Amino acid sequence: MATQTTTRLTPVRLSRWRINAALLLCLLLIGRVLLRLGELQVVQHETLSARASAEIDRQITLQPTRGQITDRLGNLLAMDVERESLWVVPRHIDPEKAPNLALTLSALVGRDSQKILADLTNQELYWLPVARWLEPEVADQVRALEEPGLRLEYEPRRVYPQGDFAAHVIGAVNLNGDGVSGVEGFYNSQLKGITGTLQAEFDNNRVPIAIAPSQKIPPRNGVNLQLTIDPFVQYVIERELQIAIEDHNADGGSIIVLDPRSGAIRGMASYPTFDPNQYYNYPADVFGRNPAISNLYEPGSTFKMITVAAGLQSRAFTADTQVNDTGVIMRYGYSLKNWNAGANGMLDSEKVLYYSSNVGALQLNEITGPENFYKIVADFGFGNSTGIDLGGEEAGIVNAWDGPNYNDLTFLTNAYGQGISVSPLQMVSAAAAIATDGVIMRPYVVEQRCDGEECAVTEPTELSRPIEPGVAWTIRRMLVKSANHYAPVVWAAQTGAWGDQWLVPGYQVGAKTGTSSIPLEGGGYDPSFTIGSVLGFGPAEEAEFVVLVKIDRPKDDIWGVSTAIPVYYKVMDELLRHARIPPDPALYSPGQGPDSIAVNE
């Protein structure tokens, strides 16, 4: 009989114990998870929700496109272009690779490697700029690094395609996108537009999550501006100004060309100039100030046309009234004299302008009287800004008869442009009244402003009528003869010999020269240097242009006449031909000068 084997049950009981222990452990783990979920979902719900929102739910600003600036003919002078800027997400940068990456980026973007390293390792901020507006080839090299913590984002950059062309008029935009001078500064809010916003959930690459809710307010782009600047006129005056300053080793200068009938600025140039694409490489007084409207100077003998206008308009004297020019005259204990102390004898107001007589001018002012004189000076706009649509315009300094700083000696020296400070634009605006039967129009540089398809055209605005048409006509005829007084200077410069010639052959133009003394801070005037200028208009009747040429401190011509007169001639000659104004046949015969032709009076 076979023996029967009995099965033992102990191993079975042990397996069940293990199973129960495992089940108990699982229950404990599940309980722990449930407790943790409860803590996260209930206790820390608000804190964690805020952190999650901070990570993915953001509102970003949508930048508008800054408005374009064009010249009178539509040529682009300022525009926005899209360039990629480099940003870093520090938490995505491997700390061990950061030093080498900083060196690589430094070589690509031209920024200090230690500063870049500080950005790469900054764990306090999520998003930091490294370099803005990379050139396309540099952006491609950064992209080739395939670094997860580097981001390339497009943003607009202000670009000036014509470089330094009309720079003082256009101005510049700083790195924050704000205009700092010129039209860019004056019209900054209109050019800049209105920013928009995008409220959405973003992934780690700052890309909106498509399935998440979002709210977008689109930006409104800035207005486009069309300037009054004629590109040919601007080119001519910039060229001639630079040549004159370099040839005469002058410190600087300005030329303004104004349409007297509307007040539109057709050209405005100052030198030295700057490139608004890199304005930060120039001193602030170069890119931040427009010398044509901001630099005050004593106008010298160009102001004598205002002196004559004041006397004629107030009926203090007539065009036939004469004074005795003795070359030197004593007043209030001071010796006042002509530029050469030479006497010119009995002079009427026309001859005072022709010979540029200081002694004659101050005697005319004595006849006019301070009350009448300063009233007309104010009517011409001196002592007040013209209101041109450019920032930084200076009002000038006039110590008027009823003011606290008035004195009798200054009243006399004001007659020939000393002791009074003006801006170049004020002189051009005043001369426009003589060129246009006594009307002064507000000068402006923006022809129209376009917001999309809607354009607002600038309407010419009359500022004042300081003199009557008859007075303006009389002074115009005087200035025609005054202009031709200096024609031999130009003729000699062109041909090498003196001759009897019109200032601009074939055309009657008006002009008055001025030699301005330069005040010293401690009192008195600079004995070594002056400012040479010419102010005039052309043609003499129905003038198209008023032109001021101003050359500061020419080193080879203390009187400034041979410096500024040739520039005035070249500019006016080209402008009249550019405007297709036919020459006067009666004046066009070569060698037939003004002394042999009766001026139509």
Q: Is the dihedral of CA 239, 552, 479, 400 positive or negative?
A: positive
Residue type at 488 in one-letter notation: P
The pTM of the full predicted model, rounded to 2 decimals, is 0.84
| pLDDT tens, residue by residue, 89-126 | 888 888 888 888 888 888 888 888 888 888 888 877 77
- Predicted local distance difference test score (pLDDT) of residue 586: 66
- Predicted local distance difference test score (pLDDT) of residue 599: 34
Give 31-80 as a DSSP string: HHHHHHHHIIIIITHHHHHHHHHHHHEEEEEEPPPPPPEE-TT--EEEEE
pLDDT band at 24 (very low <50, low <70, confident <90, very high): confident
| pLDDT tens, residue by residue, 515-561 | 999 999 888 899 889 999 999 999 999 999 999 999 999 998 877 67
Say which residue, 278 or 488, is predicted with more confidence: 278
Phi, psi angle pair for 45, to nearest 5°: -60, -50
Whether residue 583 is predicted with pLDDT greater than 90 in this model: the reply is no
Angstrom CA distances, 63 to 11, 169, 197, 219, 464, stand at 77, 25, 8, 6, 43
- Pairing relationship of beta strands 224-227 and 446-451 according to DSSP bridges: antiparallel
Whether residue 504 is predicted with pLDDT greater than 90 in this model: the reply is no
Residues 6+ apart with CB under 8 A from 236: 267, 570, 571, 574, 575, 578
| pLDDT tens, residue by residue, 74-90 | 999 999 998 888 888 88
Compute the distance between CA of residue 62 and CA of residue 332 in angstroms, rounded to an integer.
Answer: 69
Is the link from the previous residue into 272 a cis peptide, with omega within 30 of 0?
yes
The residue-averaged pLDDT of 49-58 equals: 56
Angstrom CA distances, 459 to 382, 425, 433, 447, 573, stand at 23, 20, 18, 9, 29
Q: What is the DSSP letter of 90?
A: G
List the beta bridge partners of residue 154: 84
CB 291 within 8 A of CB 406: no
pLDDT band at 469 (very low <50, low <70, confident <90, very high): very high
Give the architecture (CATH level 2) of 231-596. 3-Layer(aba) Sandwich (3.40)
- Predicted local distance difference test score (pLDDT) of residue 197: 72
Per DSSP, the three-state class of 227 is strand
